[in-house]
Amino acid sequence: MAKIFLTRAIPEQALQLLIDAFGENEVEVYPHDQIIPRDELEKAVHGREAVLCMLTDPWDAKMFDAAGASLKVLANCAVGYNNIQVDAASERNVTVTNTPDVLTEATADLAWTLIMGASRRSGEAERYLRAGKWGSWSPNFMLGNEIYGKTLGIYGMGRIGRATARRALGFNMKVIYHSRTQRSAEEEGSLNASYVSFDELLEQSDVLSIHSPLLPETTGLFGAEEFSKMKDTAVLVNTSRGPVVQEAALAQALKNGDIGFAGIDVFEKEPEIHPELLDCENALLLPHIGSATLETRTAMAYLAVENIIAVLNGKTPPTPVN
């Protein structure tokens, strides 16, 4: 049995780095391009020394027990690690690692894809055109929101939140934010950003972009009450974690006109999407592609591989979680 198991295929260059380090016979990749079923995962990880996993792979105490005492490192190919019960890993002396920083710019780019696309009804307009419905130019046709000079609200001013805010400078936007930690006055000045309360963020944002981790206090944070406080023209964007937003409430808010538009890349129960949200023409929906560039996905895989190589060689990994 190979001592290293990958739950999904990764870019070839990163896979080759792992093979070069330990030999082809010591590396096994799950052969199907899909989420590995839990029962299969429990069997596949048994007796491994290292597992390179994805955000879609659940690692609770039972999964660590299934892997057994041989497991030394669990390398999550994602910046988030809410799929992993880190305490259970620590109790079993398993090092957990993630891939921060390398996906910051790509995800911020995607947030702006959603900001602009949702504001200008791009998805709806393209569907309309492809369906053969477009007859002629009209002054009142497909009217959306301008972005230039408006107020961008950021919930969660971490790396990706700051990168998203930085891009707003080119649109002469006022930036307001709410976060667990207020940034320094110097950093706020460089981003044209001001710290506000959560209610002020909801009430004042023309575009509200979510960039928070999934924590008990952020799970389901954006629901009917929060949407009712937002402008009826506001755009809600989420590229963070799906469960931060209550999808049923978002669909209702979009249909009721409580908010204007939404741009969503992550969902509560991926790959399932609430059917009512699918019916909302004023929602631009993407299949979790925030980090989906060749450069970024390759860099993520390289970092995950480097973490495995370090731990199995008795060294400190570049990005440990525990």
Question: Which of 28, 270, 276, 281 is an active site residue?
Answer: 270
CB contact at 8 A, 214 and 241: yes
Residue 230 phi, psi dihedral angles, 5° rounding: -85, 165
For the chain, how many residues are written? Answer: 322
R_g over Cα of the chain? 21
CA pair distance 82, 217, nearest whole angstrom:
13
DSSP SS3 for 130: helix
Question: Which of 46, 92, 159, 288 is an active site residue?
Answer: 288
Q: In sequence order, which residues have a C-beta less than 8 Å from that of residue 288 and are 6 or more positions away? A: 265, 266, 267, 270
Respond yes or no: is residue 241 known to be catalytic: yes
Other Cβ atoms closer than 10 A to 219: 14
- Strand partners for 174: 151
Respond yes or no: is residue 167 known to be catalytic: no
Question: Which of 162, 183, 241, 297 is an active site residue?
Answer: 241
CA pair distance 11, 74, nearest whole angstrom:
18
CA pair distance 267, 276, nearest whole angstrom:
13
Respond yes or no: is residue 288 known to be catalytic: yes
Question: Could you say which DSSP state residue 212 is in?
Answer: -
List the catalytic residues. 241, 270, 288
